[in-house]
Structure 1
């Protein structure tokens, strides 16, 4: 099974978010996919299988579990297909039969994702303590993603967060992660964010695209603009452009392939 390592949402090797992409020729068991994802250890490993000339099934596994949607692993998979075929537009179909339309857009790859609503939620104090947050601006919840959104007042506080992950996991049940975000003080970006998800994946995801299914609409509404520049202030850092249009979110990003090999049976 051909396997690639790709750094997503960056144009530099060893930056952005690494994802593994496995090209599946024949069906394999979920247990095998989970074992491979756990062995590789990246926040996500994508398994893609050709359905027709320009459509592929795609499944995402963290080291702990399968998840329905992942932005950076979709970008990584698109990068591999565009680099190894003559296609300029493809459609991925995920485990929930959601179609993700992907196309080349200059030097970047444009991904079309659904938009999900958020709702009010109470965030317990022990979660804020575990995150190291003393003051919040707003809090929301994405039921589709099972992710809590917390807005804080400045990007420096965001970048300096050093969560107690054991306490964080014990502070709440039944979610996949916590997204912390702040409005940017820089003219280069509209908002910054970090994503912590020890419940379902790794402690912190370096660069996260899937959360734009609700985060782009959150900031588009707040800032009254539909085109936004986002910065993820993790240790590896990453950036992307997003656009809210007709209840869809478009995510623009670049990716760099860093490894190609074969996973043996």
Structure 2
């Protein structure tokens, strides 16, 4: 028996940029242990497993190479791209996903694929010692939500050149650490904010483009910049651009995706 599986680069329109995810549509129930083994074999930032319900919506689970996670943006965007590209949804039909973070939706728009995700506000906290030492700087702000620490630093240059001690960050009691700043003034494109995201505790030293991190970044920069719509950039080596709108406690993220590999998973 074999199952179709694809690798899709999300939050980019160019192959080999953005954030890669494997997407696999299951024909029957599979256990978490099996999914985790497949995700380890894929060895990508995330592997998404989909199973269609009778009403046309999908169960969706996300796994890194070592852990199942509660929320993932880029693999959700990749899942929607897969369903539309392979004719499993009509082009004008929204994708509905049942996940560990509730019902999430994705829609095709002129600018790409728009995800509807929950806002995950980071509240101010005292920074643990491992966080400060791991980043090697004095932050402007430290907050935490149910998943991650969010750290604001002084400039885009600091974000882009940061070389954290990943061993120390892995000891921080959180899924990961998001580092952000305002976009550099006068830059082109003019990004409202930039970020990077580190998840060594869950098997990903640095995530290329992290949709779920922007569930914390959007409400944070809404308060700081007093606006509801943003052009954001995640400044990893692969890089990725997101258009974001915050409305009624929901974060709407828009990006593109491109399939780079299709194949058969032997099971």
1:35-57 per-residue CA deviation (whole Å, 9 max, x = no partner) reads 00011111110000111353111
Moved more, 198-207 or 179-188: 179-188
1:216-231 equivalences under 5 Å are 216-231=218-233
The equivalent residue for 1:179 is: 178
Partner of 1:113: 117
Deviation at 1:126, TM superposition (A): 3.6
Please tell me whether the aligned partners of residues 123 and 145 of structure 2 are also in contact (alpha carbons under 8 angstroms): yes
Q: What SS is found at the alignment partner of 2:170?
A: helix
Q: CA deviation at 1:157?
A: 1.0
**Alignment counterpart, residue 73 of structure 1, candidates 72, 75, 80:** 75
2:46 to 40, 44, 47: 44
SS in 2 for 1:203: strand
CA distance in 1, matches of 2:258, 2:218: 24
Q: Does 1:140 align with 2:140?
A: no
Measure, in 1, the Cα distance between the counterparts of 2:14 and 2:151.
30
Shift of 1:116: 2.2
- Contact kept, 8 Å, 2:150 with 2:216, in 1: the verdict is no
Q: Normalising by the residue count of structure 2, what TM-score does the alignment of the two structures yield?
A: 0.93
SS of 1:189's equivalent in the other structure is coil
List aligned pairs for 1:94-109, cutoff 5 A. 94-96=99-101, 98-109=102-113
Aligned partner of 1:237 among 239, 242, 256: 239
Is the contact made by 2:9 and 2:78 (CA closer than 8 Å) also made in structure 1?
A: yes
Q: Which residue of 1 aligns with 2:162?
A: 161
Distance in 2, matches of 1:92 and 1:126, equals 36
* Runs of at least 5 residues in structure 2 that lack an aligned partner in the other structure: none
**Are residue 152 (structure 1) and residue 153 (structure 2) matched?**
yes
- Count residues in correspondence: 259
SS in 2 for 1:181: strand
More off after superposition, 83-92 vs 38-47: 83-92
Specify the SS of the correspondent of 1:33: helix
CA positional deviation for 1:87: 4.0
Is the 2:232–2:241 Cα contact (8 Å) retained in structure 1? yes
Contact 1:3 1:263 (8 Å CA) reproduced: yes
User: Is it true that 1:123 corresponds to 2:124 in the alignment?
Assistant: no
Using structure 1 for the length normalisation, give the TM-score: 0.94
DSSP-derived class of the 1:209 partner: coil
Deviation at 1:74, TM superposition (A): 0.2
SS in structure 2 at match of 1:208: coil
Question: Which residue in the other structure is 1:207 paired with?
Answer: 209
**Stretches of structure 1 lacking an aligned partner (at least 5 in a row):** none
Q: Distance in 1 between matches of 2:168 and 2:105?
A: 39
